[in-house]
């Protein structure tokens, strides 16, 4: 016996470039970065602020918690983004009529204008990203991502128990 562990006894090596969570993160960062340059330069928005504006773009006033759930962003990040957007008068907060402890957030007129200018650019970037895919492949990718997200939700709930 040489004192060295047998390679078969070692756990499999983690090859980061093949690791799915890492690959998803890299793709997400690259894809988000494409449109981020446009809204950062034009409107001085961070990725997090744009995501809040995009969620609020539906027109419905929602709580900060609902923004967290819709974006998978943590409370601190959403709170910072909301504070920055409120300071620029891009979002408005009002007390919820059904829960006085909660506030509802919505876009102001200026916030809506920014959303209406950026949303078409974002959709164009999405079209460009998917240009190398057939419509069937793009649909399949969407379905696979939905399944992956659902599985991550299940695992997240199981981990919380």
What's the CA gap between 112 and 107, in Å, rounded?
6
In DSSP notation, 15-53 reads -GGG-HHHHHHHHHHHHHHHHHHHHHHHH---HHHHHHH
Place of tokens 């923004």: 67
Return the H-helix or E-strand segment holding 148. helix 135-160
pLDDT of residue 145: 96
Place of tokens 């059904």: 98
By the 8 A CB rule, do 71 and 79 touch?
A: no
Read off the DSSP letter of residue 74.
Answer: -
User: What global pTM score does this model have?
Assistant: 0.82
pLDDT tens track for 31-88: 988 888 888 988 999 999 999 999 999 889 999 999 999 999 999 999 999 999 999 9
Q: Which of 99, 57, 110, 105 is nearest to 81 (CA)?
A: 105
pLDDT of residue 133: 97
Angle, nearest 10°, between helix axes 20-43 and 47-56?
80
pLDDT tens track for 11-34: 888 999 999 999 999 999 999 888
Q: Which of 126, 97, 115 is nearest to 57 (CA)?
A: 115
pLDDT confidence band for 160 (50 / 70 / 90)? low
Angle, nearest 10°, between helix axes 20-43 and 109-129?
130
pLDDT confidence band for 102 (50 / 70 / 90)? confident
Tokens representing residue 121 in the block: 């650019």
Residue 95 has pLDDT above 60, yes or no: yes
Residue 157 has pLDDT above 90, yes or no: no
Tokens representing residue 48 in the block: 């997090």
pLDDT of residue 99: 81
Residue 158 has pLDDT above 80, yes or no: no
């Amino acid at each position: 016996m040489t004192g060295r562990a047998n390679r078969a006894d070692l756990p499999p090596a983690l090859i980061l470039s093949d690791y799915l969570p890492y690959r998803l993160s890299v793709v997400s960062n690259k894809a988000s970065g494409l449109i981020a340059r446009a809204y950062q330069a034009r409107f001085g928005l961070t990725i997090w602020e744009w995501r809040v504006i995009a969620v609020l773009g539906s027109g419905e006033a929602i709580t900060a918690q609902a923004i967290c759930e819709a974006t998978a962003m943590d409370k601190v990040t959403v709170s910072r983004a909301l504070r920055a957007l409120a300071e620029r008068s891009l979002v408005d907060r009002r007390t919820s009529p059904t829960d006085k402890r909660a506030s509802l957030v919505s876009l102001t007129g200026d916030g809506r204008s920014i959303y209406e200018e950026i949303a078409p650019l974002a959709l164009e970037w999405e079209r460009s990203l998917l240009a190398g895919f057939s419509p069937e492949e793009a649909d399949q990718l969407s379905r696979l991502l939905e399944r992956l997200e659902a599985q991550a939700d299940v695992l997240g709930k199981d981990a919380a128990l």
